[in-house]
């Protein structure tokens, strides 16, 4: 009876290793990303790879974004920063391969490598933040009208 119980526990633990992915266990599929601008107080919009608006706000702030965009597809975001008196700035934010994904070779097996991590997006990670250094729009010098010189002499 005791041997059967130990066997069941061992089998359950072994199965849990083979039905999960390494990156899914150690990493995440959503990441906090700090949005900053210089100067602060810029409005920003974040759009995903399909063009849908996923977040908007004012710098500085932290948003949580998904690292995956589908099976074996990392997410790519387009960021737009704007502030009155400054040039609009567009940037991109792209996911990259999470190093823990390769842990599947040792711990997660093929199921983790080919199914779990790609489906959950845990095989990708996002950078911790983005900063926009906004450029001030130069003020135009006031126009000075050319003056006509009129001279008149009255006697």
44 forms beta bridges with 57, 81
CATH class of the domain comprising 2-133: mainly beta
Instruction: Tokens for 114, please give them.
Output: 């080919």
Instruction: Tokens for 138, please give them.
Output: 């130069």
Q: What is the pTM of this model?
A: 0.68
Which is more confidently placed, 113 or 12?
A: 113
| H, E, C per residue of the chain | CHHHHHHHHHHHHHHHHHCCCHHHHHCCCEEEEEEEEECCCCEEEEECCCCCEEEEEECCEEEEEECEEECCEECEEEEEEECCCECCEEEEEECEECHHHHHHHCCCHHHHHHHHHHHHCCCEECCCEEEEECCECCCCCCCCCCCCCCCCCCC
Mean pLDDT, rounded, for 81-100: 90
Q: Which of 2-11, 32-41, 96-105 shows the highest mean pLDDT?
A: 32-41
Whether the per-residue pLDDT at 6 is higher than 60: the answer is yes
* CB-count burial class (<10 Å; 0-12, 13-18, 19+) for 143: exposed
Mean pLDDT, rounded, for 2-15: 55
pLDDT tens digit sequence for 110-125 = 666 566 666 676 778 8
The average confidence (pLDDT) of the chain is 78
Which is more confidently placed, 24 or 75?
A: 75
User: Residue 91 CB: number of other CB atoms within 10 A?
Assistant: 13
């Amino acid at each position: 009876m005791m041997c059967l119980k130990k066997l069941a526990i061992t089998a359950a633990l072994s199965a849990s290793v083979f039905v999960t992915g390494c990156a899914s266990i150690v990493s995440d599929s959503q990441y906090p990303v700090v949005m900053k601008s210089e100067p602060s107080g810029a409005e920003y919009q974040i759009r995903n790879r399909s063009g849908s608006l996923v977040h908007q706000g004012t710098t500085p702030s932290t948003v949580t974004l998904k690292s995956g965009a589908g099976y074996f597809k990392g997410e790519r975001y387009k960021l737009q920063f704007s502030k009155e008196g400054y040039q609009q700035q567009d940037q991109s934010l792209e996911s990259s391969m999470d190093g823990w994904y390769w842990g599947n070779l040792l711990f997660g097996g093929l199921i983790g490598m080919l199914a779990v991590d790609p489906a959950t997006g845990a095989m990708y990670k996002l950078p911790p933040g983005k900063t926009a250094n906004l450029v001030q729009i130069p003020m135009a010098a006031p126009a000075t009208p050319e003056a006509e010189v009129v001279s008149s002499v009255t006697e």
